[in-house]
Structure 1
């Protein structure tokens, strides 16, 4: 009997140790090389299809470009890199001095590009599923900034995008719900195979049915079936509908299956902590405004998002309170991180994580219709609280004639 117990304990410990290694093997970053041209320098990073990157961060004194890859582990001659491992690739051309790599976290690989220029432009793209391409070029002129200013004037004057505060009570208030992922993009997948795209679509539909019963509310979904949408297209739909609120609904995931709880995000240029960065990395895909350079994109983002920063924060706090109270799940609070799906929304915008699909216990709850209804009711409670606070409309039951 004792021998059998010892064997079982050994197998249990073996599986605990083996799982992370197997998981990390799927996210190995191997060959990193560069090509020098007269007009630019190109860095090619061979990766797996699952590995993505956070929006790049520009640093000065000296001039550097910082990119975090997630989930990713550097593959060296000795095997998978340990946390803290560093190495450098010397370049020394007209655009780049060197590329430095650091295994910042067991699933985050930090890439720092030491630049030879103080004024530059860059582009990041996934030309193939298994490679990330970074192009560094010289500076462009300021013509794109005029394009952005003109675009913002059109946004401000457009009747299709109403003010955050309608002039009178009773005016129709448009809420755009965005069920994350869809189609070929399943999102996170739980231990038993539950897909994020299916859970969030069901929750969004339940929430929409509740909102339709409220007077003065008009609700729209970016997708009503299992189909793929590019991230920029989701806020584009919301803007075209003239939405007053944009809410992207997701199910969370983490390397540790013990992670639990609900949290609500607002957009920010940088993540406030590593956990927020991991969530943003998982939800993001590389996305840029078409035909607009890096400088113009940054200016456009700053000007649009600054206008709605306060409203987005108030909205997030109300939703987070309603969601945590209705579900009874751990309240992880309101956080800030860079989300491509929120960028470009000409209205208050939030991203809601309704629970950890990677946690077996929470995954089992997310499967159940009654729990999904609790999630929808919690979000509705938060929305009503937000709307009543800013005195936009009075959400009272419609009196029977």
Structure 2
């Protein structure tokens, strides 16, 4: 409660006799109290307002996403207006402290954004639209990278023009396979997942290189190589700067009936001297090392940065999550990982010489062999520089492709005709129970030639090791 303030009566004093009059200094307490009261009211009103400190727009094939970053949780309401199509976003007790982002002209839904005050303390943002939309909004709590966020996702209203082009099918295609042409056998489909994206930049190097940009560049190069390979086809999980939820990535791969899933990343660690490539497969029983466990925990937090509701779960994984340690999918994953790791070691130093295992959410598909490739450490200044280099990105993609090519011969897609005779398989992954002499006999090569071709000093081999079969022996 404010206490009563006694104010002295106004007096007038003159300056130089006939000069102008002014209030005496005795009025100062009254003026100071009045100003103090006005300041308190204004400051209190401002203190209660949420500040919109940032705004971003992301466009992907399925939706347009608008992100408001705010200083506190913010109340909001959405309502559409037709003729012309608009979506009004009313933000309660909010002030805009940043410029609204410009919208890409190619966006299928948005024309532009504009804002203005609503009443004394509220903010109104108007989204000018190209077509009617459905709007979904949710809020995200702060994390180590972002403050409070209000997410608004826009999708075409039912009956409006859609965004994603339907997957092509052709006469004579085998049932259950996508993209086969005429009477040709179905392609071996590789789903390529460029890690992070959009709201989630991933790790950031000392020079400012963002992991999401590096992974997309390598993924696009790998997709180009795969599409050039006879009998193979690439599917990009994301092909732009937008975020895809971890479990949605699995669902996209399933929608294309992928035969192999490859998630591409660029590692980071607190020690800038850490370097080299690694390849991971899924483990439900624990990570193969402390660093693998730490990495999986960090990567699995991507949904928090990318803007995915905590309640957003996948029907695919809720129906069944197999014990992959007893499933052939895991064995196939390990084979693919070992082959890719071997070829990566020919263009880049290896951080670990054997396949690593950890509980990565993005690798949890129960029936698609899945691997995660850490191409290099973006936190290492030298490797960051190389990751930015297009020629080195191409070498990394070529190394991954070399491993995929051998894997596809060993594990062909249904209906794909390949040379599956021992002579057609020039690299082999060692499994439990394999012996060097048994492999030499299986591939009809001499033990000595096999040993010399792989630089072995004796007949000791290890599980997961990749041996190259000599052409002539």
Structure 1 residues 305, 239: closer, same or farther in 2, change over 3 A? farther
- Counterpart pick for 1:220 among 217, 235, 255: 235
> Corresponding residue for 1:128?
141
> Corresponding residue for 1:283?
299
Structure 1 residues 183, 130: closer, same or farther in 2, change over 3 A? closer
Q: Find the aligned partners of 2:275 and 2:355 in 1 and give their Cα distance.
A: 15
Say if 1:254 and 1:358, in contact at 8 Å, map to a contact too: yes
Q: Find the aligned partners of 1:237 and 1:291 in 2 and give their Cα distance.
A: 12
Structure 1 residues 288, 305: closer, same or farther in 2, change over 3 A? farther
Secondary structure of residue in 2 paired with 1:325: coil
Give, in angstroms, the shift of residue 301 of structure 1: 4.0
> Corresponding residue for 1:263?
278
Give the number of aligned pairs: 238
| Structure with bigger gyration radius | 2
Q: Find the aligned partners of 2:311 and 2:396 in 1 and give their Cα distance.
A: 32
Q: Find the aligned partners of 2:283 and 2:312 in 1 and give their Cα distance.
A: 17
Q: Find the aligned partners of 2:177 and 2:325 in 1 and give their Cα distance.
A: 13
- Counterpart pick for 1:194 among 183, 195, 209: 209
Secondary structure of residue in 1 paired with 2:402: helix
**CA RMSD of superposed structures (Å):** 3.2
Give, in angstroms, the shift of residue 385 of structure 1: 1.7
Give, in angstroms, the shift of residue 344 of structure 1: 2.9
Say if 2:329 and 2:366, in contact at 8 Å, map to a contact too: no
Secondary structure of residue in 1 paired with 2:363: coil
Q: Find the aligned partners of 2:191 and 2:297 in 1 and give their Cα distance.
A: 23
Calculate the TM-score normalised by the size of structure 2.
0.46
- Counterpart pick for 1:234 among 233, 243, 249: 249
Structure 1 residues 243, 275: closer, same or farther in 2, change over 3 A? same
Secondary structure of residue in 1 paired with 2:327: helix
Structure 1 residues 365, 310: closer, same or farther in 2, change over 3 A? same
Q: Find the aligned partners of 1:256 and 1:299 in 2 and give their Cα distance.
A: 39
Structure 1 residues 170, 304: closer, same or farther in 2, change over 3 A? farther
Q: Superposed, which structure 2 residues align to 1:1-400 within 5 Å?
A: 128-130=141-143, 160=176, 170-269=185-284, 270-285=286-301, 290=313, 297=318, 300-302=321-323, 306-344=327-365, 346-390=367-411, 394=418
Secondary structure of residue in 1 paired with 2:375: strand
Structure 1 residues 291, 236: closer, same or farther in 2, change over 3 A? closer
Q: Find the aligned partners of 2:366 and 2:251 in 1 and give their Cα distance.
A: 7
Give, in angstroms, the shift of residue 387 of structure 1: 2.0
Secondary structure of residue in 2 paired with 1:259: coil
Q: Find the aligned partners of 1:348 and 1:127 in 2 and give their Cα distance.
A: 33
Give, in angstroms, the shift of residue 291 of structure 1: 7.5
Q: Normalized per residue, which structure has more helix?
A: 1
Structure 1 residue runs of 5 or longer lacking an equivalent are: 1-125, 132-158, 163-168, 397-401
Say if 2:247 and 2:313, in contact at 8 Å, map to a contact too: no
Say if 1:262 and 1:333, in contact at 8 Å, map to a contact too: no
Q: Which of structures 1 and 2 has the larger relative contact order (alpha carbons within 8 angstroms, sep 6+)?
A: 1
Q: Find the aligned partners of 1:303 and 1:319 in 2 and give their Cα distance.
A: 20
> Corresponding residue for 1:95?
none
Q: Deviations over 1:197-246 (max 9, x none)?
A: 00010000011111111100011101111011110110100001111111
Q: Find the aligned partners of 2:326 and 2:376 in 1 and give their Cα distance.
A: 26
> Corresponding residue for 2:130?
none
Give, in angstroms, the shift of residue 282 of structure 1: 1.5
Secondary structure of residue in 1 paired with 2:190: strand
Structure 1 residues 370, 128: closer, same or farther in 2, change over 3 A? same
Structure 1 residues 221, 321: closer, same or farther in 2, change over 3 A? same
Calculate the TM-score normalised by the size of structure 1.
0.54
